[in-house]
Structure 1
């Protein structure tokens, strides 16, 4: 049975699930059907971070145009341009034991493509979540539902995996940003 997290909660991932090596990080969302002016295109991105909380290079920014990082240990499965349907809208596969030792954190975000020009923000998005699934058994281990706490934000860091005493843990962050993907890329040390 999955552990449901609240904003700011941290939980052991590998310590409480011995032998866990392959996970799927699923991200999902729905958009406000009453907006109607423009189509929404939300995107998930992954930032592989060093001990300073920064990417070592552009190769550590994983998204629909750079789908693999850390020598194939982290793989984005592709862009869902509509968000239609049930279940995960986008997924990231991670082989925890193969993640480079220089990577201390793996941050997951959701951004709205062309949010400013389309007049869109996370106040028009609901049912956003991140979940971690054991890739071998398909068992959902962790789930964090973001809630409806956002208004003018155009990007959200939903959570992060991080190393602690040779184990992986998950932190439910739920931190919104204005400035979309560009603000996140800059915060994580890239141009």
Structure 2
């Protein structure tokens, strides 16, 4: 089965975005692990605390959580709340995914982007930083992760429906 050129380009873009999000999640997870370990050792071993390191760990966690959603969706790891799908024909799951995409995924994540946009615009306008005294700059960049991840969820959901299934 050959795909049209625009569809192939779209699916290639979604694969690239998935790999970028996966790399970001791996990096954030590794950084978060090291930062929390350092925070604990410094605090309880040496009685030292660094607000900026704590902020960095929080920022890494936020990025990890936000971008793990589209990564999970691209790998089919999302939770299905269906009890009878195993007894139904194979085409049912594909049709159920398409219906769920149109009725739930696109509207919910589209609403998330729309509702969050004023907060994000304000955050960017003031170049928001940490609420902690002496904390890190760039909170507005971390807040950008949520609408970007929501847009990636929509793109990955559409790609899941449009991508041809490989028969086993």
TM-score (norm 2): 0.26
Which has more strand, going by share of residues?
Answer: 1
